[in-house]
Amino acid sequence: MDTLCKKLLWVALVMVLGQSVTAQEKVSKKITKTYAMTDAGKLNLENKYGNITINGWDKNEVSVAISIEVNHRKKENAEALLKRIQPIARDGEEFVSLGYEILEKKTGWFARLIDEANPFDYDRSNIQIDYTIYMPAKAELKITNTFGDVLIEDWTGKLKALIEHGDVWLSEDLNKADFTMRYGKLRAQNISYGSVDIKNGELDIRDSKSLRLNSNGSDIAMDAVTSLEIYSNKDNISMNEVSTMFGTLKFSTLELDYLTKEADMTLKIADFRVGNITNSDVNIAINQESSEISLNVTDFSHQFDATLEQGLVRMPKSFDNIDSKMLDKGKKLREIKATYGNSTQGRISIRGKKGVVLLKEL
């Protein structure tokens, strides 16, 4: 019994010591500023280690609230670091630029030598810098944020954003927006004209008239895009409807429910699937290597032609005027032509080597 009590006391002591070692002192400060600006103005914001909330309103001013919080095991160290974090603001006619700097800890040549030998006196887990901003609803906005999320509400101006290790949510339709995303999620409604450069992230956009997409290692979902320019590598892409699309897929899978006008794609070790081709004059041109192409041709009258080296084409028996010709036996290069349906306004043309082409009636 005495031994058991000693063990329990030892465990309790270890827990208390562990808590004392890991306990963090927290200090904070808040800063508020107001700047004159109309819908014709521009706001530039650069931040790191925190979240940004942007709200649009009908006032001719920008209201900025900055919350800075520092954690450290020693309170005096936390307070010293908090003092070194200094907001930077520049404003002029219809322009505001916001950011911050962390001042050097010490001065003098010997102190600088010590700092250079041990430069990491803080890390991102020690600092949280959050912005809450109200600005004219149609003013221009440029945001750079690292290690933090961005929420934009009730604002419809022109946007340019560079976000790393954070997510973005947009509540309103935007006419023009350009995003560079790294290791984060982008959730948007309608972006009429935009570009997205995304790596190792997630993209969810409802609608767009014209979108340029450069993606790598990402999961992408879109509802309706009128004109899509896409350069994809190692992505999973799901889209409901596209009118025209062109670009490249490498090691990616793209599933499209409805194609209404044109597709001009280059594929390399990729999967390209179209569930429905909705108009009689749709034109599909694909140059592929070692890829799988699956097209539902039901109710789509068209001319079909393919020139493939060591490739495979499968088509329903309902195709007419099938002509298969070996162009080069050594390379196993074959040309295949056929027609489907009563009209030949539409066209499917496929070139490349290896790969599988599946024409289906579903």
How far apart are the C-alpha atoms of 324 and 335, rounded to whole Å?
6
Maximum CA extent, the chain: 96
At residue 12, the pLDDT reads 59
How far apart are the C-alpha atoms of 32 and 210, rounded to whole Å?
38
At residue 362, the pLDDT reads 87
Contacts of 225 (CB under 8 A, 6+ apart): 207, 208, 209, 211, 239, 241, 242, 243, 245
- Residue 330: DSSP 8-state: T
At residue 109, the pLDDT reads 52
Strands (DSSP E) found in 93-184 = 95-102, 127-136, 140-146, 150-153, 159-164, 168-170, 174-182
At residue 111, the pLDDT reads 46
At residue 299, the pLDDT reads 93
At residue 13, the pLDDT reads 55
Indicate the domain borders of the chain: 26-137, 295-362
- Residue 39: DSSP 8-state: T
At residue 344, the pLDDT reads 79
Q: Are 66 and 14 in contact (CB under 8 A)?
A: no
Which pair of structure tokens corresponds to residue 315?
């088509």
Q: What is the CA radius of gyration of the chain?
A: 29
For residue 358, what are the CA distances in angstroms to 213, 241, 274, 279? Answer: 27, 20, 11, 20
How far apart are the C-alpha atoms of 33 and 203, rounded to whole Å?
34
For residue 347, what are the CA distances in angstroms to 233, 274, 281, 286, 305? Answer: 27, 14, 7, 11, 8
Contacts of 210 (CB under 8 A, 6+ apart): 192, 193, 194, 226, 227
List residues bridging with 172 in a β-sheet: none
At residue 333, the pLDDT reads 85
pLDDT tens for 158-195 read 999 999 999 999 999 999 999 999 999 999 999 999 99
In this prediction, the residues of the chain whose per-residue pLDDT falls under 70 are 1-22, 106-125
At residue 104, the pLDDT reads 83
At residue 52, the pLDDT reads 99
